[in-house]
Amino acid sequence: MRREPPQTIGDYAPLLFPAAMLTIFFVVPFGTMIAVSFFQRQQGGFYTPAFVFDNYGRFLSAFFGGVLGFSLMMAIAVALCCVVLALPFTYMLTRMARSVQVVWLVALLSVLSLSEVIIGFAWSTLFSRTAGITNILVALGLMGEAKALTPSFAAVLTGMVYQAFPYTVLVLFPALVRLDPTLTEAARTLGASPLKAFFTVVVPALRNTIVATLIMVFIFALGSYLLPQLLGRPQHWTLSVLITDQAIYQSNMPFAAAMAVFLVLVTLGLVALTVIAGRKGEAA
Amino acid sequence: MNINSIKRRTLLGAGLAGASMLAMPAVLRAQDKSLKVGVYGGYFKDSFDKNIFPDFTKATGIAIESVAEPTGEAWLVQLEQAARAGQAPADVSMMSQVAMLKGQATELWTPLDMAKIKNASHLLDRFVNKYPDGRVAGVGAVSWYITLVTNTDVYKEAPTSWSAFWDSANADKLGLLALVSNSFLLEVTAKTFMGGTNALDTEEGILKAFEKLAEVKPNVRLWYRDEAQFEQALKSGEIPMGQYYHDVTGLAAADGHPVRSTFPKEGGIQDSGCWALSRASQKAEEAHIFIDYMSQPSIQATLSRKVGTSPTVKRESTDLTDKEFAAVSSDIEPIVPRYDLYQTKSDWLNQKWTELIVG
């Protein structure tokens, strides 16, 4: 396919539609949010347009710092778990017969059709004392007494990994399909074990894909606000939960907006750091 | 999940209700007279659609388009945003007290002309909301109790006092509401341990109540925003004790679930919903007719029988029997929430509360 830079303004026309959509549905709402984050909160009422820093001031405290730190840590943990699980899984999937691949992919896609609410309630039932999986362990004689596994950090992590796993596989799949099989074959003929070939050939060859996937899952997990409520204790609530609280229940839009802006900035900063670190690594 | 569970104060419906609101065409526009009425979604709305609204249309010729509203404060935000754009997703809405007062602060509610609401004379004074200058902002629709609920399989004996929440024998067994402004646990603490809700007059008093309340934390398994979540866990015995709505618990018990609602000796928490008219509404005339109709003692009695809410009119004016009244209320003096605090100190209380349960 021949590629050449656009010559006339007309050549840019196909870009207009996505650009307009992006402006209307992303730039404008985000701009509104930034504006609202500087508005004056009316306690017990709503808000009035103004330009104050109070909302950001309230956020800068050890308490919210802790919540932000936890949210980031949780999102990183989810991203790592997802990639660690999905990479070998997808690698094996790409080497299976086409018909098997289709079945797996359809099953994974059907998980995407489940809402966060359903996933949350399903896991809270599975982890419950009265109807959960520990009852099976008791029946098998492996456990003395059924117990509740939720609310806990592990329960939240499980729910979020379950939710993000299909995305991870779908992002990794094309890159792994395109991976040249002769690479691993060469490694094997040179005497590497399958495991060694996977870690010394496949993983380094997919470095950029893996980093991109980590970032995508990280951002995806950062927005989760229902699963931490359904499966966790209050100390496992993410910043998104507190933003929802402020926006919906306290009608404190300015503070909610300020927290959201802060979260977006920190996220962008972390992503930028990752990308820069990746470039440096490549240059070295 | 039980479809019958009242979701009227839930979070999960919030987004959905908002979205369907925007998408829904005004079906009844063709009709001469109509009114959009917001009631809490789920069992509550179904009950109104079945038992109340058809009779109203028959009596007045005004068609009702009922709108499922999410929990009071979430609905308030939507109404407020819409009113700023000159829109009214519902003309008349049932609003809980805290949301009602927040709406009053921004003049969201059109003042009602009491001359057009003759039946208001039956109402108990405390269920009429007024602006500081005496204009009427809202008229009592129903009132309800939040009580001490238990699973009867796990607790053979009903607890008698809110102090059961503090009992170390109940470690990791409680389900409590997650917000300071809907759990009213500060009031419960003050009434149970500090001699009454007047103890919350000063910040020192409130901080003392927070301190006492912190002792409950190890006993709490779930801080819920979504009612369905706790209701299921209570029925199954997963979380066998907590605070919940008296009306829904009664309905669940009537369906054969092993749950009971107890009015503790310190009293149940009484909250109420008002009918309020959005300032963006063009249907003031119809709204007054509707509110007048809903304030009739006979309609209030029907609500008590069918929905399990407590009447907002004087009890003598209704034909409820002692037994029927006892099912929806109690002779024990209720804990009345300190609504004033949620206006004057709302952000401070919210901050302290969040730090208490998250920290």
Reported ipTM: 0.83
Task: Give residue B25's pLDDT.
Answer: 45
Task: Give residue B21's pLDDT.
Answer: 46
**Mean pLDDT, residues A191-209:** 88
Nearest CA in chain A to B178: A234
Q: How far apart are CA B259 and CA B280, in angstroms?
A: 43
Task: Give residue A164's pLDDT.
Answer: 94
Return averaged pLDDT per consecutive 10 residues of chain B, 359 residues in all: 45 45 46 85 81 92 91 83 91 92 90 93 90 93 94 95 96 93 94 95 95 95 86 92 91 90 95 93 94 94 89 89 88 91 89 91
**Mean pLDDT, residues A127-136:** 89
Q: How far apart are CA B355 and CA A253, in angstroms?
A: 20
Task: Give residue A54's pLDDT.
Answer: 87
pLDDT 10s digits, A160-179: 999 999 999 999 999 999 98
Instruction: Give the minimum alpha-carbon distance from B194 to chain A in angstroms, rounded to a whole number.
Output: 26
> Distance of CA A201 to CAs A171, A197, A267, A279, Å?
19, 5, 31, 20
Q: How far apart are CA B347 and CA A37, in angstroms?
A: 16
Contact B238 A128 (CB under 8 A): yes
Of A44, A129, A131, the CB nearest to B346: A44
Q: Does A234 sit behind a cis peptide bond, omega within 30 degrees of 0 on the bond before it?
A: no
Please tell me the number of Cα atoms within 13 Å of A181 on its side-chain side.
6
Q: Answer yes or no: are the C-beta atoms of A57 and A262 closer than 8 Å.
A: no
pLDDT 10s digits, B253-296: 988 999 999 999 999 999 999 999 999 999 999 999 999 999 99
Q: How far apart are CA A212 and CA A87, in angstroms?
A: 13
Helical segments of chain A, H only: 13-22, 28-36, 54-59, 62-94, 98-112, 116-126, 134-139, 153-178, 181-189, 194-197, 203-205, 207-222, 227-231, 239-244, 253-283
Q: B26: which 2 tokens?
A: 């005004």
Instruction: Check CB contact of A186 with chain B, cutoff 8 Å.
Output: no
Tell me the torsion sign for CA atoms A153, A158, A163, A169: positive
At residue B42, φ and ψ (nearest 5 deg) are 90, -140
Contact A249 B74 (CB under 8 A): yes
Per-residue burial over A96-126, b = 16 or more CB atoms within 10 Å of its CB, e = otherwise: eeeeeeeebeeebeeeeeeebbebbbebbbb
Task: Give residue A263's pLDDT.
Answer: 92
Instruction: Give the minimum alpha-carbon distance from B62 to chain A in angstroms, rounded to a whole number.
Output: 32
Instruction: Give the minimum alpha-carbon distance from B250 to chain A in angstroms, rounded to a whole number.
Output: 23
List all residues 6 or more positions away from B193 whose beta carbon is below 8 Å from its beta carbon: B163, B212
> Distance of CA B211 to CAs B68, B252, B267, B285, Å?
38, 34, 22, 50
Instruction: Check CB contact of A67 with chain B, cutoff 8 Å.
Output: yes
> Distance of CA A186 to CAs A125, A191, A202, B125, Å?
48, 9, 12, 87
What's the alpha-carbon Rg for chain A, to the nearest Å?
A: 23
Q: A15: which 2 tokens?
A: 């870009």
Q: Distance of alpha carbon A4 from its chain centroid, rounded?
A: 36
Give B-chain residues touching A55 at CB under 8 angstroms: none
Q: Answer yes or no: are the C-beta atoms of B276 and B33 closer than 8 Å.
A: no
Q: How far apart are CA B327 and CA B321, in angstroms?
A: 10
Contact A117 B74 (CB under 8 A): no
Q: B286: which 2 tokens?
A: 């119809």
Task: Give residue B7's pLDDT.
Answer: 47
**Mean pLDDT, residues A222-240:** 92
At residue A246, φ and ψ (nearest 5 deg) are -65, -45
At residue A274, φ and ψ (nearest 5 deg) are -60, -45
Across all residues in chain B, what is the average pLDDT? 87
Query: Is it the case that residue A221 has pLDDT exceeding 80?
Result: yes
Q: How far apart are CA B173 and CA B279, in angstroms?
A: 44
- Smallest CA-to-CA distance from A67 within A273, A225, A252 is with A225
Contact A128 B1 (CB under 8 A): no
Contact B238 A234 (CB under 8 A): no
pLDDT 10s digits, A14-56: 888 889 999 999 899 999 999 999 999 887 677 888 898 888 9
**Mean pLDDT, residues A133-151:** 88
Residue type, A158: T
**pLDDT bucket at A195, cuts 50 / 70 / 90:** confident
Instruction: Give the minimum alpha-carbon distance from A161 to chain B in angstroms, rounded to a whole number.
Output: 22
Give B-chain residues touching A242 at CB under 8 angstroms: 354, 358
Instruction: Check CB contact of A250 with chain B, cutoff 8 Å.
Output: yes
DSSP states along B283-335: -HHHHHHHHHHHTSHHHHHHHHHHT-PBPSB-GGGS---HHHHHHH--SSPPB
Give A-chain residues touching B17 at CB under 8 angstroms: none
pLDDT 10s digits, A62-111: 999 999 999 999 999 999 999 999 999 999 999 899 999 999 999 999 99
Instruction: Check CB contact of A257 with chain B, cutoff 8 Å.
Output: no
Q: How far apart are CA A151 and CA A100, in angstroms?
A: 36
Name the one residue in this structure whose structure tokens are 């660690």: A84
B interface with A, Cβ–Cβ below 8 Å: 1, 11-12, 14, 71, 73-74, 76-77, 80, 101-102, 105-106, 178-179, 181-182, 221-223, 225-226, 229, 233, 236-238, 342-344, 346-347, 350-351, 354-355, 357-359
**pLDDT bucket at A281, cuts 50 / 70 / 90:** low
> Distance of CA A248 to CAs A67, A252, B353, B356, Å?
19, 8, 16, 20
- Interface mutation vs chain A, best among B185, B344, B347, B357, most A CBs within 10 Å: B347
Instruction: Give the minimum alpha-carbon distance from A46 to chain B in angstroms, rounded to a whole number.
Output: 7
Task: Give residue A20's pLDDT.
Answer: 92
Residue type, B128: V
Contact A248 B1 (CB under 8 A): no
Under DSSP, is residue B25 helix (H, G, I), strand (E, B) or coil? coil
